[in-house]
Amino acid sequence: MGLSALVRQLVCAMNLIAVVDKPEEAAMSLAAPTGYRTIAVGIATGALGAAMLLGSAAIAVADPPPNCTTADLAGISAGVAAATSTYLFTHPDVNEFFTGLRGQERDAMRENVQNYLNANPNVKADLDGIRQPVVDFKDRCQ
């Protein structure tokens, strides 16, 4: 049964409007609006809206994985930023290196960071560990 047929059946079952078979009778009966007809239109509109809403819910894809909201990402990013800040403050040499990158071209900066991390595998491992929650979030939520 189609959605329009369902709405029509609902309205007719409530005896709020008469169903007519002849188009001229329909035109005449629709010409003079009544209180019941206004109520019927309101109910039909509500039923149609509810059917559309419920119908779209059935079509929706499976629920997204848990903890994949923007708020979750913001919380994870804040934690990573705080841990990075703590790491840099407790490792002044690493902090000095990254601070010294300011003002460099993007390509030069990328190359300098890569060279630094290759020369300092412990720093790379530490920073990768700090950043891991963001990587996990992206893997889980994409």
Tell whether pTM > 0.75.
no
Residue-wise pLDDT for 10-34, tens only, equals 444 444 444 444 445 544 444 444 4
The class that CATH gives domain 70-141 is: mainly alpha
Residues 131 and 84: their CA atoms lie apart, in Å, by: 8
- Give Cα 13 to chain centroid, integer Å: 39
Residue-wise pLDDT for 41-64, tens only, equals 455 555 555 556 665 555 556 777
Query: Residue 53, Cβ neighbours under 10 Å: how many?
Result: 9
What residue segments make up the domains of the chain, in order of their start?
Answer: 3-59, 70-141
Residues 27 and 20: their CA atoms lie apart, in Å, by: 10
Query: What confidence score (pLDDT) does residue 63 get?
Result: 76
What 3-state DSSP class applies to 32? coil
Percent of the chain surpassing pLDDT 90: 52
Chain mean pLDDT for the chain? 76
